Amino acid sequence: MPMRAADLIHEVDRLTPYKMYGRVTQVVGLTIEAKGPQAAVGELCYIHSDTNSETLQAEVVGFRGEHVLLMPLNAAVDIAPGSLVEASRRPLEIKVGTGLIGKVIDGLGRPMDGSTLPEGLTPQPIDNEPPNPLMRPRIEEPLSLGVKAVDGCMTVGKGQRVGIFAGSGVGKSTLLAMFTKHSDADINVIALIGERGREVKEFIERDLGKSGMKNTILVVATSDQPALMRIKGAMTATAVAEYFREQGKDVNLLMDSVTRFAMAQREIGLAIGEPPTTKGYTPSVFALLPRLLERSGTSENGTVTAFYTVLVDGDDMNEPVADAVRGILDGHLVLSRELANKGHYPAIHVLQSVSRVMGDIVSKTHINAAEQLRRLLSTYEESEDLIQIGAYKRGSSKEVDRAVKAYPKIQQFLQQSMDEPVPFQETVDQLEKMFGKGE
């Protein structure tokens, strides 16, 4: 596809009649230190090796005196003192368009199957400013996710940002796959950040399948890749989602996990000399998190509904990253290991989960039915020990009697198999029929 005149003028304006060069002086840990070139933080540079024809891409992450600190986007091999460093005079960009749908790309936007990018894609910077708060439309319309527990009790709106908090092995990936396959979104953008390489193909073939990939773009930055590449993977996925939002689409952005994104930024911060402050995390982590998470949401053209998984070590919901993310997002789903151990899937702990916009986007009868379910479930759990050992006598409390009677219906409503999508209105009808009149 030929470039438009405006795009050509933009490219010409970015050209400079000279190039800036420097030389590598030393490599310390994750960072490459160079004498020159003149460059700004965030600028992309190319490091030319004397023994390898391939150039290494690196980003300027800081300065030490008159030396430039660079972080490589790939493994730093064949780099020696004196290697030539060339400034590109621009930040990292990717190419985005509908031609990426159904593909798996890396953190730099390159197809991971070795194929070439399709034609007709648009250059897009990966680090953009969040939308102006005053230009963001309010969230007014629910998004059907096809999962009864979420649609019924923690309804998500188009453009909402939700955290999925869980320890390892309680069904995060399965829940993300259900959202991908069953939701009403136009496009799904999934970011696997810091995942084991083995799990990537398993997620594509076992969890998503062909039906899940048909309207999905997958961005992958595995745990073996440099920390900066994991950061770029999250940024790239967000940029892809932003592109389709500006095309008027309703986009689902699903990132697994924001914890490993924070760990990657901690690696970078420690490497360039930042002090570890909160449980080993550097200040830049807590500055970068809102910058990433605020980029999703609504705009004047479309929406990005975002789901960010957060790993909670030892199921500790108050660890630093979980606490920071929960304060930024518009709601959270808590996955319970106790429920998972009982075979209750999806293992969503309804009483600990919340959607901060549900009250603005669903009917009064829907809210009343959801609140009634929560009250009965809470009452049952408070008396569960007495009920299980047979110490509770029927008739002692009308509220507990109602909770015991309703508990099997609640469990049936909240459980759902992975390949069993339920339309939003059907979920609401079931919920209101069971609990809409105080039953």
- Number of domains comprising the chain: 3
Distance CA 92, CA 126 (A): 7
pLDDT of residue 395: 67
pLDDT of residue 437: 58
Nearest CA among 141, 125, 143, 205 for reference residue 179? 143
296-314: per-residue pLDDT in tens?
Answer: 999 999 999 999 999 987 6
Note whether 226 and 248 are same-domain residues.
yes
Among residues 340, 359, 378, which one ends one of the domains? 359
Note whether 353 and 371 are same-domain residues.
no
77-118: per-residue pLDDT in tens?
Answer: 778 888 999 998 888 889 999 999 999 999 999 999 888 888
Note whether 265 and 374 are same-domain residues.
no
322-379: per-residue pLDDT in tens?
Answer: 999 999 999 999 999 889 988 899 999 999 999 999 999 999 999 999 999 999 999 9
239-286: per-residue pLDDT in tens?
Answer: 999 999 999 999 999 998 899 999 999 999 998 888 988 788 999 999
Residue 190 counted as domain residue: yes
In the structure, what pLDDT confidence band is assigned to residue 1 with cuts at 50, 70 and 90?
very low
Note whether 174 and 103 are same-domain residues.
yes
pLDDT of residue 239: 96
CA 412 to chain centre: 30
Residues of the domain holding 415: 365-436
In the structure, what pLDDT confidence band is assigned to residue 8 with cuts at 50, 70 and 90?
low
What is the SS3 assignment for 439? coil
Q: Are 225 and 107 in contact (CB under 8 A)?
A: yes
Distance CA 100, CA 123 (A): 13
Q: Are 188 and 180 in contact (CB under 8 A)?
A: yes
Note whether 262 and 115 are same-domain residues.
yes
154-198: per-residue pLDDT in tens?
Answer: 999 999 999 999 888 888 888 999 999 999 999 999 999 998 888
pLDDT of residue 314: 64
- CA distances (Å), origin 296, targets 10, 299, 348, 393: 26, 9, 23, 51
pLDDT of residue 15: 60
Handedness of CA 424, 428, 431, 434 (dihedral sign): negative
Token pair in block for residue 254: 């699903």
Note whether 283 and 340 are same-domain residues.
yes
Note whether 229 and 81 are same-domain residues.
no
Among residues 91, 112, 140, which one ends one of the domains? 91
Among residues 38, 59, 91, which one ends one of the domains? 91
Note whether 287 and 421 are same-domain residues.
no
Q: What is the pTM of this model?
A: 0.89
Mean pLDDT throughout 13-33? 81
DSSP state of 393: P
Point out which residues pair with 221 in neighbouring strands: 193
Note whether 284 and 378 are same-domain residues.
no
| Beta-sheet pairing, 216-221 with 250-256 | unpaired
Note whether 165 and 236 are same-domain residues.
yes
